[in-house]
Structure 1
Amino acid sequence: MRRSRVNVRVRVAVLVGALVLLAVFAGTTLRGDGPGPGVALVPTPSSGEYGGAPVPDPFAYDAEREDAFVKRAAAGTSHVLYARSPGGAAATAERVANWRPQVEAAARAARVSPDLLEGLVFLESAGREDAMAGDAEGAVGLTQIVAETGRNLLGMRIDVERSARLTRQIDRALLRGRLFTVLALRRKRRSVDERFDAVKALAGAARYLTFARSQLGRDDLAFVSYHMGVGNLQGVLSAYGAERPSYARLYFDSTPNHNAAVQRRLAAFGDDSSNYLWKIYAAREIMRLHREDRAELARLEALQTAKNSAEEVLHPSASTPRFTTPAALRDAWDDDDIVAFPDDPVRTGLARHPSMGELAPRIGSVPGLYRGLRPVALALALYIGAQTREYAGGEGPLVVTSTVRDSQYQDRLVRGNGEATRNYSLHTTGWAFDVARTYRSQRQALAFQFVLDRLQVLDVIAWVREPRAIHVTVAAGAESLLPLLERLEDG
């Protein structure tokens, strides 16, 4: 269903006017004379046609907004901690909190934040002093120290062979229910492998952080290196060039087209080392909630684990309006709460799949009703299309297969689509869309992956990979991109 362009233009003008007054998120006032020199812009079509007014990129690095970026990164990477912490985030926080006195002592020795060291413990072992990531040569204990690092760098007593033998004996005793034997064997293992001694493991981590800071010059970089390694991080810093930048600057100031060598190095770490610091910050926030607001922690845990992404944190079912019927959705179109998703790849870098809304006749409706999004969600989709095309070197468009639905359409879809949820669907809110997992090239796929990951780290979207599509849910706070809707106006 296509709305009058006059109504859409009025709607955009009102929203942009509000943006000028509020300077939402970006902290930037849009002046009539356009952005100043050096301001990063959202890419426009290469032909220059239909480009519209220049739109500052609110997600490009800006030193004045670094603290806001870091706060967003902690929120944007927190889902994995809620979803994968053994027993859940609240139970893990309870275990980690038991080590607080020992954490504080180790933090004093290393002259680092006890809250960050506690976050490291949460992330590394979930508070389990006997945690093992593989065999005894690998990462072991409360702070997950690798045997070689523990022996050669940290001066810890580690007899891998005896430690492995005792671990096997402990496992057998556990299977037989011999708990006193287990306790005795664990004491013996701590004496031959100090990584299993929580106090000594924390002291080892403190020594590592002290060493890393001496090599890297900053606490934040020292914590990054705990997972990435000092040498690897030094290679990234060398590619960036600036002397001792903050990790936030190093990370957010690097894209496939800007400081590209840095971005390639960070992307090459397959263990998500590049996001390690943000996850420590996320763990720090979970521990704060554990101490100060357990009800909020429980609320967030329920939302974070409801789906395979954080989409219900962005739009909780209890407080997010849904379109239950075609009539309700039609009213949203009439009020410009839903605007048309264009089929204009040249201007948008996005193609609308012909099947979008195809089930409408089966519920007595029309396909056009299901070809739209909320204005902010559409603006973010346009941003994704523009950035992906720019990073992919002008490759063809991404293909969007699904946008808004109502509950009746969703119910009909569930009958023939095993991927469709029978529960709360974000498509019925107008905040979600799907992109087909069919790409013009590997370069386009990697460009799209980068854009998704960067926006999720910034807590602007939540996304999940489905068998045939990428499902994207947009947060409500990206109003600074609304001027992109002007690109949909006739030239």
Structure 2
Amino acid sequence: MRAEPQTRATIARAVGGLLLIALAAGAVAAIVLALGLGGREPLDLKVERIAREANEKARPAADPFAWRDSRREQFEVRAALGSSHVIYALSPGGVVASAKRTAAFRPRIEAAAARHGVDADTLEAIVFLESAGRPDVIAGPTPESASGLSQILPSTATDLLGMQVDLPRSIELTKRLAKAKSRAEADRLRAERAAIDERFDPDQALDGAARYLQIAEQRFGVEDLAVVSYHMGIGNLETVLRDYANAPDDQPIAGLIAADGLSYAQVYFDSSPAEHRKAYEMLSGFDDDSSEYLWKIEASEQMLSLYRKDPGRLADTADLATSKATLEEVFHPESKTDVYDDPDEIEDGIDNGELVPLPADRKLGWIEDRDLGELADELDQSPQLYRAMRPEALATLSYMAALVRNLSGESKPLRVTSAVRDRTYQDLLVTENSQATEEYSLHTTGWSFDIRRDYASDRQAVAFQFVLDRLSSLALIDYAVEPGAIHVTVSGLGKQLLEGS
């Protein structure tokens, strides 16, 4: 998928955490004005309205996160950010080192891209994401798996791309390489392997990847689907597209895409357990990251761009992204986010509208767990003090609960086990709960809440998992699975659910 220059500039500002860092820094300061909390109506009425209206936005016609053609650019930007954590977390040696290795191949990447009429930035992002710029990497124990700079399977290399792959010899040389006794011997074996298995020859691997993109784009007629197919496979993607469009097998795929104006963003964001179910089940059934591959490629492009422009900023963002198991510190960096140090600060936050108390209404699809704020007595406080959160978080919680209810048909509410805390409460919790962090906790900012992992049925559990995954892909939230609860952090984009409140 290629965007126009203005669009790509927008993406560049967004991915890598830059957009949400800016949103997080500005949202808190503007929140009272944005919500109108203060003197015009009682706080409890305003709180009920925030929760109720966010709940109602889960209806398809009113849903600000439901697919619309006009939202494509916005959703693609958010999806790149929402899927970026795994890249920061798993890049060998870190994203800066991976970007440096990958960028060293840029001249050869540009040459291969030019030969096949594909985008060099996309090809470079594939190298970054697939191999982190390592020409000899193998996805499994032997070259029977995807191998080389572009991580090409042997069957794809020989049957589709016309590459030379002597697989038995490649396997043998790989075994000998693992036992090499000197660097000279290892270099000789690598050269010998690259000669008989072109996937390990950087130039041939790049040419093969570029040729694949060229073939796939000719078949699908659009670049975004060609990129998706690089990981998902052409046949699998065609099945997803036909399932989405309810089209017969004999309809030419390029004609189907052109007639319906299909983009991958539409297929991905418009498929769910309730709509285009067959396509959704196919996408969710992959046991790898095929369904999110395009978003990770977009994120990788922007990481590489930022590496060239400002590697220090990329390193800083990577530090934020890898400090927790989620993107929560990218959403709300400690240096730019208000933290509640003690109970008095939480009270002040409620008084000035930075925090809102949780309404008691089962119709919202969630309720407070009876243990919420259970350590308050040890601090000579009321548990009610800790039953509050940021307005954006309350709106997001209510929106999520309504989506789960609508998808599952279950009336049993989700249970909120944790909301805002102050540092004194967090310090006490650390002594009693091994899962609690001694470091910066997003609970002490009001942006996080926990949902008990106790569901009315499998339908409710499946619906909740869908909501978590879909909203994290849109960078509205990120979440971590803990032993007894799902820890959710809401980004500054939750403000969108407050519009009209």
Q: TM-score, normalised by structure 1?
A: 0.87
1:302 correspondence with 2:316: no
8 Å contact kept, 1:256–1:264: yes
Distance 1:394 1:12, change over 3 A: closer
| Amino acid corresponding to residue 7 of structure 1 in structure 2 | L
Paired with 1:110 and 1:349, the residues of 2 have a C-alpha distance of: 53
Displacement of 1:351: 2.1
Out of 93, 118, 124, the residue aligned to residue 124 of structure 2 is: 118
How far does residue 249 in structure 1 lie from its aligned partner after superposition? 1.1
Would the aligned equivalents of 1:395 and 1:444 in 2 still touch at CA under 8 Å?
A: no
Tell me what 1:108 maps to. 114
- 8 Å contact from structure 1 (residues 132, 138) kept in 2: yes
2:24 alignment partner in structure 1: none
> Does 2:266 correspond to 1:249?
yes
1: CA distance, partners of 2:458 / 2:289: 20
User: Which one is further off, 241-250 or 331-340?
Assistant: 241-250
* Residue 90 (structure 1) aligns with: 96
State the shift of 1:395 in Å.
4.4
Residue 482 of structure 1: how far off its partner (Å): 1.9
1:232 is aligned, of 236, 242, 255, to 236
2:154 is aligned with 1:154: no
Paired residues of 1:343 and 1:351 also in contact (CA < 8 A): yes
Question: Percent identical across equivalent pairs?
Answer: 46
Shift of 1:9: 3.5
Q: What residue is the counterpart of 2:379 in the other structure?
A: 363
Question: Secondary structure in 2 aligned to 1:270?
Answer: coil
Between 1:417-426 and 1:329-338, the stretch displaced more is 329-338
Pick closer, same or farther for the CA change 1:309–1:221 going to 2, 3 Å. same
Contact 2:47 2:359 in 1 (8 A): no
Q: Are the counterparts in 1 of residues 410 and 456 from structure 2 also a CA contact under 8 Å?
A: no
CA distance change for structure 1 residues 10 and 398 in 2, over 3 Å: closer, same or farther? Answer: closer
Are 1:202 and 2:175 matched, yes or no? Answer: no
Look up the SS of the partner of 2:224 in the other structure.
Answer: helix
In structure 1, what is the equivalent of residue 251 of structure 2?
Answer: none
Q: Separation in 1 of the partners of 2:404 and 2:499?
A: 18
Q: Is the 8 A contact 1:55 1:481 kept in 2?
A: no
Do the aligned residues in 1 keep the contact of 2:366 with 2:416 (CA within 8 Å)? yes
8 Å CA contact retained: 1:377, 1:474: yes
2:448 matched to which residue of 1? 432
Cα pair 1:70 1:248 within 8 Å, conserved: yes
Match of 1:447 among 453, 457, 463: 463
Give secondary structure in 2 for the equivalent of 1:472.
Answer: strand
Alignment equivalent of 1:333, drawn from 350, 362, 379: 350
CA distance in 2, matches of 1:289, 1:414: 37
CA contact under 8 A between 1:41 and 1:55: conserved in structure 2?
no
Q: Does 1:65 align with 2:71?
A: yes
Q: Which residue of 1 aligns with 2:336?
A: 319
Find the aligned partners of 2:380 and 2:230 in 1 and give their Cα distance: 59
* Structure 2 residue corresponding to 1:472, chosen from 472, 488, 493: 488
Q: Which residue of 2 aligns with 1:191?
A: 195
Task: Give me the whole-angstrom Cα distance separating, in 2, the residues matched to 1:469 and 1:86.
Answer: 30
In 1, Cα distance between equivalents of 2:278 and 2:388: 38
Q: CA deviation at 1:55?
A: 7.9
Selected match of 2:409 from 393, 403, 406: 393
Where 1:105 maps in the other structure, the secondary structure is helix
Cross-structure match for 1:179: 183
Which 5+ residue runs of structure 1 have no aligned equivalent?
17-33, 35-39, 45-53, 487-491
1:140 aligns with 2:147: yes
Match of 1:47 in 2: none
AA aligned to 2:306 is L
Q: Secondary structure at the match of 2:101?
A: helix
Superposed displacement of residue 160, structure 1: 1.1
Structure 2 Cα separation of the partners of residues 41 and 98 of structure 1: 51
Alignment of 1:43-62 (within 5 A): 43=58, 56-62=62-68
**Match of 2:194, as an amino acid?**
R
Structure 1 segment 206-217 matched on structure 2, within 5 A: 206-217=210-221
The separation in 2 between residues aligned to 1:426 and 1:406, in whole angstroms, is 10
Name the count of aligned residue pairs.
447
- Matches of 1:364 and 1:63, distance apart in 2: 53
Aligned residue type for 1:220:
D
Contact residue 177 and residue 189 of structure 2 kept, 8 A? yes
- Per-residue displacement from partner, 1:193-220 (whole Å, max 9, x unpaired)? 1100011011111121122122222111
Of the structure 1 ranges 394-403 and 178-187, higher mean CA displacement relative to structure 2 is found in 394-403
Distance 1:289 1:321, change over 3 A: same
The 1:43–1:309 alpha-carbon spacing in structure 2 relative to 1, beyond 3 Å, is closer
- Structure 1 residues 292-327: Cα deviation after superposition (integer angstroms, max 9, x where no partner): 121210110110111111100000001100000001
Let me know the Cα RMSD of the aligned residues.
2.2
2: CA distance between counterparts of 1:10 and 1:160? 67
Following superposition, the deviation at residue 350 of structure 1 comes to: 0.8
Contact 1:220 1:247 in 2 (8 A): yes
Secondary structure of the residue that 2:431 maps to in structure 1?
A: helix
Q: CA deviation at 1:72?
A: 0.9
Give the partner amino acid of 1:304: A
* Conserved? CA contact 2:47–2:357, under 8 Å: no
Q: Which residue of 1 aligns with 2:42?
A: 6
Aligned residue identity for 1:73: A
The corresponding residue for 2:473 is 457
SS in 2 for 1:463: strand
Q: Hey, what's the Cα distance between the residues in 2 that align with 1:130 and 1:384?
A: 44
Q: Which residue of 1 aligns with 2:57?
A: 42
Letter in 2 for 1:57: D
Asked if the contact 1:139/1:146 (under 8 Å) is kept, the reply is: yes
User: Unaligned 5+ residue runs, structure 2?
Assistant: 1-37, 248-255
Cα shift readout 1:84-103 (whole Å, capped 9, x = no counterpart): 00000000000000110111
- The separation in 2 between residues aligned to 1:379 and 1:196, in whole angstroms, is 51
Contact 2:92 2:98 survives alignment (8 Å): yes
| 1:444 partner letter | Q
The residue type paired with residue 368 of structure 1 is Q
1:239, distance to aligned residue in structure 2 (A): 1.2
Structure-2 separation of matches of 1:8 and 1:479: 19
Supply the distance in 1 between the matched residues of 2:115 and 2:80 (Cα, whole angstroms): 26
Q: Is the 8 A contact 2:321 2:327 kept in 1?
A: yes
Could you tell me whether the CA contact under 8 Å between 1:324 and 1:408 is conserved in 2? yes
2:288: which partner in 1?
271
Which AA in structure 2 matches 1:207? Answer: R
**Alignment CA distance shift 1:237-1:41 (3 Å):** farther
